[in-house]
Amino acid sequence: MSLAGCFGCHMSFLDIDERLFALIERVEFDRSPLTDLKAVGRCDIGLVEGGLCNAENVQVLREFRAHCKTLVAVGACAINGGLPAQRNHLRIDELLRAVYQQRDGLAAGAQVPDDPELPLPLNRVHPIHEVVHIDYSLPGCPPSADAFWQFLTDLMAGRTPQLGHGLMHYD
């Protein structure tokens, strides 16, 4: 699942290429950006990319925690907020006004969107472990396909995932 992510971790996961065929023989995907399921069911493993930037992120994260035996913070954003957390030294109301009201080229009378259908942003971006318990972190921005593969094969074999030099990186 992607929260305040860029979908890059999902793309890096897909970079395992033809190993996806081997994987799909062994696993079944529940709610995911790659499936059409709208609600998360009982799962063994939940992979979460992105930090928490709005109210909907928090709700979705809590649903994943409630339904997944093992929850994994995937990528720099989920782990420490990542580059989106660089907004944490700015005021969110000033940011929204700068983008939706004060930017050059906006139509006259442009306002910050306020429809209740839209989730309100949080004051600050947070890593996911500050809201729910995380079982593992898979670092990288994004983690490499080989890191995903090593991590998932370890987990499926019942081993504690070990990345080691080359697969372990934060950038």
Name the residues that contact another protein, by CB under 8 A.
73, 76, 79-83, 85-86, 88-89, 124, 126-127, 129-130, 134, 136-139, 141, 163, 165, 168-171
For another protein, the closer CB: 29 or 170: 170
Place of tokens 């839209």: 118
For another protein, the closer CB: 26 or 89: 89
Q: Are 57 and 119 in contact (CB under 8 A)?
A: yes
Min dist CB 11 to another protein, Å, is 15
Q: Give backbone dihedrals phi and psi of 51, rounded to 5 degrees, phi first.
A: -90, -165
For another protein, the closer CB: 104 or 171: 171
Q: How many CA atoms lie within 13 A of 138 on its CB side?
A: 31
Bridge partners (DSSP) of residue 68 are 43
Query: What span, in angstroms and rounded, lies between the C-alpha atoms of 151 and 47?
Result: 11
Which among 90, 91, 82, 37 has a CA at the least distance from the CA of 64? 37
Min dist CB 36 to another protein, Å, is 31
Min dist CB 171 to another protein, Å, is 4
Q: Are 71 and 48 in contact (CB under 8 A)?
A: yes
Min dist CB 44 to another protein, Å, is 20
Min dist CB 156 to another protein, Å, is 18
For another protein, the closer CB: 31 or 126: 126
For another protein, the closer CB: 16 or 163: 163
Give the strand order in the sheet containing 43-49. 43-49, 68-74, 136-138
